[in-house]
Each structure stands twice: as C-alpha cells, then as structure tokens.
Structure 1
C-alpha cells in the first residue's frame, strides 16, 4: 500500500523537472565591449602594494581617457610685456611715472609719503632733507623748513605753473641757480630767511612778499634794480644781512620795508621820495624799520616828507 503513494510522488517530481525551462549558456563576446579585461589591466596598471587612497588617485587620473574626454585647466591671465617689466610701487605708480602719492624722491619714496600732502600744499618740515624733493605738478604751497638743504637747483621747481608760495626757512642754503625761481608765473611769496645765501638770484616780478632775512648778502648780494619791476611787491624783509645800502628803486606799492640790524650808514633824499616833486606823496609805504643800523636819520629830513610815517631808527 505504501509503494503506490511513493510511485505517485515520484511521477509528479519527474513531470515537474521535464516542464522546467532549459537554461541556455551565456556567451561573453568581447567584440561588444570597447575595452577588454586585459586592456583594463594595462590602463589601470594595478599594483597590489598601493594603498586605498593611492589606488583611487591612479584610477581618477585615467577616467578621462576611458570616456574619451580631456579636461584642461583654464590658463591664467598673463601680464603684458610692459607690465611685467615695469614694477609697480605701493601707490600704484612706477619709478618713471608719478602716482597718487606724487613723484619719487632720491630716497625711493613718493613725495607725499616722505612729506605730508594736504590738497595742493606739500609740507616737508623737519625731515632732515639734504635736497628738495620733486613736487606734484598741482602744488600751490610748498614748505621745507628746518632741513639741511644746501642748494636750490634750476630743476627743483620746473614745470610748477601753479606754485604760489615757497618757504625754505632754516636750512643751510648757500647756493642757488640763477634761474631757480624765474619760470614760476604765479609765485607770490618767497621766504628764504635763516640760511647762508650770499647772492640773490633773479626773482619773478609776480612776488608780493619776500623775506630773505638773516643771510649773508653783504654789499653785493643784491643786484641793482633787483625789485624795480615788482609792481605788486608789498612786503620786503632783509634784516640781518650786513647790507650797507638800501636797494633801489623800491616798488611804488611797497607797504613794509624791514632793514634792521644791517650796516646801512647813509640815505639819500630821493630814497623814498622824489626830490624835485614836493607834491608827491607815497601813501602805501607805512612801515620802515632801520633800527640797528649806524645811520643818523636826522641828517636827511627831506627824505621822509612824502611818507605817511617816519622810519623807525636812530635820530642821533
């Protein structure tokens, strides 16, 4: 009885095996692939001694080749030949062209870094300078006091058509080129006091204020008729210079003349007035200082008749 069920079970198992689908063999055709397994071994150049990170690096460098794409970094911008050969300084300028801080001095610094620039005024006081620095072209007022400048050269103020005031007080200037101040069409004030100047150069006729006190001009330091054409000159200070005469003629509009502490011993009657014109009145010249000179003002009473005020000095 037990054999019948076993036979029946065996029959169903056989029938199921016969009915199952046949698994066909799979062919791996290398022609369907761009790269064979052998090629992959060559491309990756596998080395079992590589660490995980090194292996990733090696694989990452070969991927562009496998995909057929090449990635190149964008080239960095190149400076032009001129820019590469011309160094730029901290103010954005080159050694040959002025920048925002002005032209460059002999010390290698821009003028407005060595000195102080405020608007169109340049202040170089007490900087131990031995030469005047080049100035920006728009400079109107220049101060270089309490330095060690020995000479004023013809190029120190070249092409400064806007310059109105120069103050070189308390240097050691003993020499000035003859045309150091000649080509300054707007110069109004020139201050050269407390130096060692022996010879005054030619000055522009536009000056209204001159102070050359405490120098060593002596007898020949001022040329004849040096101030004749300065029609706008109002203030002339030549104290402490060992002068032995009053420089004539004096401009008509002169208001103040200081000649203290010189060696002036005499004065002519037409020094200030017109000897043959007693009606002439010189209204502008109100301040004349002759104190500290070996001159007796009482000897030439007619020399002051045209003046609104008497000169200050010895009357004995």
Structure 2
C-alpha cells in the first residue's frame, strides 16, 4: 500500500511539471517569435517582381502591409534634434561688444540747410512751352481755368475747348490763331474787356452755344470767321465790325459771321455792315 501510494504521488508530480513547462513555453515561444521576426524588406517585397509590377490603387496594398506600417517604421528616431536658443551667438572678438551698463550715444541731428526757393528757369528756345502749338480739351468737365493757364505758352496757335462747363475764358497768348470754346456756359461777364483786341494773329473765334449777351468787340483785323450762334445777343453797336468815322475802311478778311439763333434783329443796324464783304447770317425781320 505504501509503495502504490508513493508511485501515485510521483505520477501527479510529473503531470504537474509537464503542465507548468507547457505554460512557461508559450510566452517564450512568442518572445522568440517577436525577436526572430524577419526584416521589413523581406516581408513586404518577398516573391514580388517590382520591375514588372504595375502599381495601381487596387494593388497598392500588395506592396506595403499598411497594418504593420507604424510597427515597422519609427520616424521619431530619425527626426533631428534642434536646440532653440533666444540669444544670438556672441562674436569672437570681445572688443566689439558694448560694455554693460552703458548706452550707445544718440546721434545728433544736423540742422537743415536753408536755401533760397528755386525759381523757375526762364523760357528758352528748347523748352516744351516753346514747342507746344495745339491743345485739345474737347468733351471734358472743365469748369475753371487759371488766368495764366495758357498765357505763358508763346507758340500756342490752337486752343480747342468745346463741350465743357467753362464760365470764363483765361487770358490767351498773342500767338493764338484759333480759339474754339463752343458748347460751354460762358456769359459776356466771363470775357475780359477787349479780350481779343491785341490778338493780331487770331483768325477763327468760335463761341457758339454759350450765354453771351453781346458781341465781344473790338475784334482784331486778322479775324476771318466769327461764330456766335445760339447765344443771347440782342443788340450791337455801329462800330462793332466797322469804323463809323472812316467810311473807306474795309474788312476784307472777315467773310464768315454767324449770329443765327440769337434774339437780335440784324435789320435794325444797317450801318454796322458797310465795311464787311458779306452780311452776317441771322434774322433780318
């Protein structure tokens, strides 16, 4: 009985040892498997002909095992470590460093040199003013012009200003040949007294469609064409075109006078046209 009982005890001990050995063998096997895991390049590309492989969206998973992507590659170790500082590197030469506790001297401002204002250079034969002969400002919204805007242009021959909002004419240079200021708002008060008398080269004076109350006399002998239609002219003087004291005076150049569209009755002033080669155009009734 004792021997049998002893043999039974030894059998149970052996079975327990086998169970414990099996239990300990499983983690060891797993641990060994993890250590002996093949390299990523062997797992990903084994038995795969990359040279003849056509990569598409469907076959992308065959080339790379995305499930183990994070396990195979650890990019944290590849990132360079950068130390961020707050101070600039000190120069090697300590002589270039300022002493602590001292401030750099503030530069003194130099007083501005006072000079006389620059005066405009006198006009010469090569300046732009000498070469400018024509100005055309048609169809703008000009309502005012400085009195000397054109007077200092000694070579200006044509000044074209129609379809604006002018209420006065500036002083003109004596070189002017043609002045066209039609379709503005110029009254007789907007013209200087005897504004055209000294313009000895003026040939064309067109002031139609304005607000003139009378004919702007005296007119230069050089005038050939005078257009004053569609204004508010109601009367004229006998000496407007001719010299009533000189019956032999003839204005041969002035052949084109237009006064139509005005309330004036030209037949009331028969002595005002004796020096003209042609009668003005307008109402004679």
Q: CA deviation digits over 1:237-259, x for unaligned, max 9? A: 00011100111110111000000
Superposition pairs of residues 70-81 of structure 1, within 5 angstroms = none
Q: Distance in 2 between matches of 1:254 and 1:238?
A: 14
Q: Distance in 1 between matches of 2:278 and 2:248?
A: 16
Give the aligned partner of residue 285 of structure 1: 254
Displacement, 1:138? Answer: 11
Tell me if 1:196 matches 2:169: no
Tell me if 1:186 matches 2:189: no
Q: Counterpart of 1:161 in 2: which secondary structure?
A: helix
Give the root-mean-square deviation of aligned CA atoms. Answer: 1.8
Displacement, 1:160? Answer: 2.3
Q: CA deviation digits over 1:225-276, x for unaligned, max 9? A: 1111110100000001110011111011100000000000001111000001
The structure 2 residue matched to 1:257, chosen from 205, 217, 226, is 226
Q: Counterpart of 1:187 in 2: which secondary structure?
A: coil
The structure 2 residue matched to 1:245, chosen from 200, 214, 229, is 214
- Dislocated runs of 4+, deviation >2 Å: none
Unpaired runs of at least 5, structure 1: 1-136, 140-157
Between the two proteins, the alignment pairs up a number of residues equal to 162
Greater share of residues in helix: 2
Query: Which structure: larger Rg?
Result: 2
Give the aligned partner of residue 300 of structure 1: 269
The structure 2 residue matched to 1:174, chosen from 128, 143, 149, is 143
Q: CA deviation digits over 1:98-140, x for unaligned, max 9? A: xxxxxxxxxxxxxxxxxxxxxxxxxxxxxxxxxxxxxxx999x
Alignment check: 8 A CA contact 2:129 2:155 kept: no
Q: Distance in 1 between matches of 2:207 and 2:191?
A: 10
1 or 2 for the larger relative contact order (CA 8 Å, sep ≥6)? 2
